[in-house]
Amino acid sequence: MFSGKTEELIRRLKRATYAKQKVEIFKPSIDKRYDETNVVSHNSNSIPSTPVETSANIFLLANDVDVVGIDEAQFFDIELVNVCTQLANKGIRVIVAGLDMDYLGNPFGPIPSLMAVAEYVTKVQAVCMRCGGLANNSHRISEEKSLVVLGETNNYEPLCRVCFYKATTK
């Protein structure tokens, strides 16, 4: 969290639209933190999107496009890997943003498998809120225990490996 994933996704998709490419953007319908339909970054940049329940809907709705963008991909089912592969095999550029690890530091949803089949992977880091180093972990600071908890600074803080280890092995 707070590493600029969505910001980078929006930047890449806007560049594609500037290049007159046909773009379709999807997000999981459960993500309504900033907007019901738009993909919105933490610093309020946004781009229109289509909320979908499952990854299969992405394949059904991505017609006559050059580029597909997918935000918060960790919240989709594992079928997202096949959907992205099928779209890429049709010549569609697929740009995915999502967390690779959950709040416990475990691989999160379809992201690790997507990273394995992707031609390019860009990992972005936040700044550790405790030491100022590069943060790869989303440490949950709220007491909620379910895997999916939508939130911001009220629920999570970015931490580096060492600070995450210290925080989770008390």
- For the annotated catalytic residues, the residue numbers are 72
Helices (H) and strands (E) in the chain, counts: 5, 10
Residues listed for the chain: 170
Three-class SS state of 27: strand
| Cβ count within 10 A of residue 16 | 19
Tokens coding 65: 């496009």
Distance of CA 155 to the CA centre of its chain: 17
CA distance 27 to 151: 16
Per DSSP, the residues of 100-142 read SB-TTSSB-TTHHHHHHH-S------EE-TTTSSEE-EEEE-S
Which residue shows structure tokens 């690779």? 100
DSSP conformation class of 18: H
CA distance 81 to 149: 23
